[in-house]
Structures are given as C-alpha cells and as structure tokens.
C-alpha cells in the first residue's frame, strides 16, 4: 500500500471522459476526495487549484504496472482520481509516489494547519502535498533522503508557481536542524518518531505520522516533547512505503512484517463465522488495530483461497499461526494450531466485550526505544 487510505468509504465516480474540461475534471476530483475525507472550504480550494499533473511530469505507474506519461490517452483522467500515483520504482518495488489524495486530506485535516504556520514535512514525494500546505498559507520545509526525489520535487514546485516551500536533501531522522515548527507531517511509514522532530516542534504543536502497527501504518496525531511524555490519538488507517534507517528499527514493541504470498503454509478453518454480515472494511480495520494492541504477533498476510490480505497472528517460523477473517472465522496452521486458535478467539472475545471499539477510540502512550545511537518514540501502551 503506497500512501493509501483503506477506509472502505472510497467510491468511484462514473468514468471520466476525454472531453471533460479542466474545470469539470477538477470539480469531480474534489467530489471524489470528499467522499473519503473531511474537506474544509480552504482545502477543497487547494485541491481544485493546485495542478496535480505538474508534479508527475515524468509520468507514473498505474495499478496495472503500465507507465503513463503526459500526452498519453487518459493521463489527466488518471491524475485527477483519488488514487496513489507511483512515480519511482527500484526493480519492481515502488519507492516514491504521490499519495492517495483522500489520505492527504485526512492527514492535513488532522494537522490543523493555519495560515502563517511553519511545517516540517518528512518525505517530499512529488512535492504535491507540500504545495497543498503552502496553498493553505503554511511555510514548509520538506526533507527527503533521496537526492533525485528532492530535486524533482523542488523543480516541480517552482514550475507550478508554488512559493513558500523549500525542499532539502537530507536525513529525515534529523529533521531540519536550526529551525522551529508549529507542525510536523510525515509522508512515509515509520516505526516511531525521531526525538529531533519533537525538539524542533514548538510546545503545543502536532506531529501527524503514519506509525507501524500490526503490519500497517495507522496515522497518529502526536503531542509531546523530545524528552517526553509523548502521547497520541489515532487518526485513520493507512498504508505507506516504509522509511529506511533508524526510523524503521525493530524494537521490543515491534510486530512482525507482513507475510508475503506463499510464506504461510496451508491454513484450515477451526472456528466458523462469528459476524453476520461480515465486518465491513472499516470495522475489520478496527478489529485489526485492537489485535495489534493485544498481541505482538499480529500482522497481515496473503492467504491461499482468500481474495484479500487478512489479519493474522504469525508464528515465529512465519509459516503458520492463525488468521481472523472479516466474518470472524478462524483459520490455523503450523506447529501449534491450538495455541494460535486460542489467541485468535481471545482477541475476538475481548473486542466484542469492549464494545467493538474503533481505532480512533484508543489513546496511545509512546516510549523511547530503538537504536541506542538513534532512538525513536514508539507506541508502547494503549487505553480506551
């Protein structure tokens, strides 16, 4: 998942036509975003006026793996959809993109940005997110560890006529030394927050950050100082490409990485469906989040015979464990199926007993851990 917001609320507009005017296309774009995210008048105006195509001038890869370039049939129609645009791949692995606009809107809404605020952005991407923030009146410093990505984002911002953004090539962990900010926004998945971001954040500031939890990157709104305490609330589900270096260091609270297709052995149903009808996408994510709170082996995996990635409790060999399907059925396999079935059933019972809380109901306390030379603040305890 590449800067996507798996909320289940996304609906496609009818197909865009090649004869649509630019104004019509952008109006449809804003309408589509609004179905999946809160939009103030100011943010709707930013999406309607900042030219997204100016930030993908070298083209992008569509979901089918085809590279689409300016001038290609359907280029603008694809640009002005609520979808992620992959702009850089290494081999077959996407390593930079323009995130799904509705997720951008969710995160910018949580940032509570106002005109005149100073914003630190970690992960420049195409520069489009920074352009939206600048259009809202913010002054932005955007840092990206990839030199070519930073250079291209800076060029696109200049050519699009966007002022108020400075793009720097640098280590995202370091932030922007020597500067102070009212807000921090991170556009790449991380295991935790750099204390340097918090030291550069003014008291009362907010950091909006997608932090790893059970194989995905729920967005957190974080408050606190570099020395603590640091607390957070959950904003929304999301999936991002992961950062590199100390920002993704393993720690004592880590969950296992997702299991790739073919890693898991055969899983067999041991408990039938519990939910009728099955949980929708949002509710399933809520259960998934709770599973990550209560079980350190929670993550997700591709399962044979199931047409979506599922919540799993992955055993230490990464070949077995238990899967919890959206209908509440439990599948198990591997060396200790009874153990994993018991753990999965316990999660379902606890979630039901707690009133099936949404992920937004959790309050998070973070702890300082990670590498000794480059510590990070990570989610460590939760309360409802």
Q: Active-site residues: which are they?
A: 99
H or E stretch at 144: strand 139-144
The angle, 0 to 180 degrees and rounded to 10, between the axes of the packed helices 101-111 and 41-49 is 140
Provide the CA 99 distance to its chain's centre, in angstroms. 9
Cα–Cα distance measured from residue 115 to residue 132, given in angstroms and rounded to the nearest whole number: 12
Cα–Cα distance measured from residue 36 to residue 278, given in angstroms and rounded to the nearest whole number: 21
Hey, is 153 helix, strand or coil?
Answer: helix
Cα–Cα distance measured from residue 261 to residue 72, given in angstroms and rounded to the nearest whole number: 33
Hey, is 322 helix, strand or coil?
Answer: strand
Count CA within 13 A, CB hemisphere, residue 95: 13
Q: Compute the residue count for the chain.
A: 384
Structure tokens at 87: 């702009």
Alpha-carbon dihedral sign for residues 281, 282, 283, 284: positive
Burial degree of 34 (CB within 10 A; 0-12, 13-18, 19+): middle
Structure tokens at 253: 């609270």
Count CA within 13 A, CB hemisphere, residue 248: 16
Provide the CA 246 distance to its chain's centre, in angstroms. 18
Residues 320, 265: contact at Cβ < 8 Å?
A: yes
Cα–Cα distance measured from residue 368 to residue 24, given in angstroms and rounded to the nearest whole number: 49
């Amino acid at each position: 998942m590449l800067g996507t917001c798996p909320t289940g609320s996304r609906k496609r507009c009818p197909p865009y036509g090649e004869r649509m005017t630019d104004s019509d296309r952008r109006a449809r774009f804003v309408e589509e975003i609004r179905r999946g995210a809160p939009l103030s008048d100011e943010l709707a105006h930013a999406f309607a006026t900042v030219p997204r195509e100016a930030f993908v001038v070298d083209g992008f890869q569509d979901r089918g793996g085809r590279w689409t370039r300016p001038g290609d049939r359907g280029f603008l129609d694809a640009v002005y959809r609520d979808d992620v645009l992959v702009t850089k791949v290494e081999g077959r692995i996407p390593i930079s993109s323009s995130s799904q606009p509705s997720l951008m809107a969710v995160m910018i809404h949580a940032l509570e940005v106002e005109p005149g605020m100073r914003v630190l952005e970690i992960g420049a991407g195409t520069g489009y997110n920074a352009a939206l923030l600048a259009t809202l009146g913010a002054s932005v410093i955007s840092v990206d560890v990839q030199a070519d990505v930073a250079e291209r984002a800076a060029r696109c911002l200049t050519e699009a006529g966007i002022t108020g953004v400075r793009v720097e090539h640098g280590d995202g962990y370091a932030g922007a030394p020597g500067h102070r900010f009212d807000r921090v926004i991170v556009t790449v998945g991380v295991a935790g927050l750099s204390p340097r971001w918090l030291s550069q954040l003014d008291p009362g500031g907010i950091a909006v950050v997608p932090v790893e939890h059970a194989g995905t990157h729920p967005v957190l709104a974080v408050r606190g100082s570099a020395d603590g305490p640091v607390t957070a609330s959950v904003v929304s589900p999301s999936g991002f490409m992961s950062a590199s270096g100390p920002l993704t260091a393993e720690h004592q609270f880590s969950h296992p990485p997702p299991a790739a297709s073919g890693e898991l052995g055969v899983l067999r149903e041991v408990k039938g469906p519990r939910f009728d009808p099955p949980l929708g996408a949002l509710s399933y994510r809520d259960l998934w989040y709770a599973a990550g709170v209560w079980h350190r082996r929670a993550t997700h995996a591709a399962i044979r015979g199931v047409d979506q990635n599922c919540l799993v409790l992955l055993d230490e060999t990464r070949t077995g464990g238990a899967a919890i399907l959206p209908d509440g059925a439990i599948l198990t396999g591997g060396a200790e199926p009874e153990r994993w079935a018991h753990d999965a059933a316990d999660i379902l019972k606890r979630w039901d007993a707690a009133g099936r809380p949404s992920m937004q109901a959790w309050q998070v306390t973070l702890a300082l851990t990670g590498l000794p030379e480059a510590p990070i603040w990570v989610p460590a305890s939760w309360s409802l």
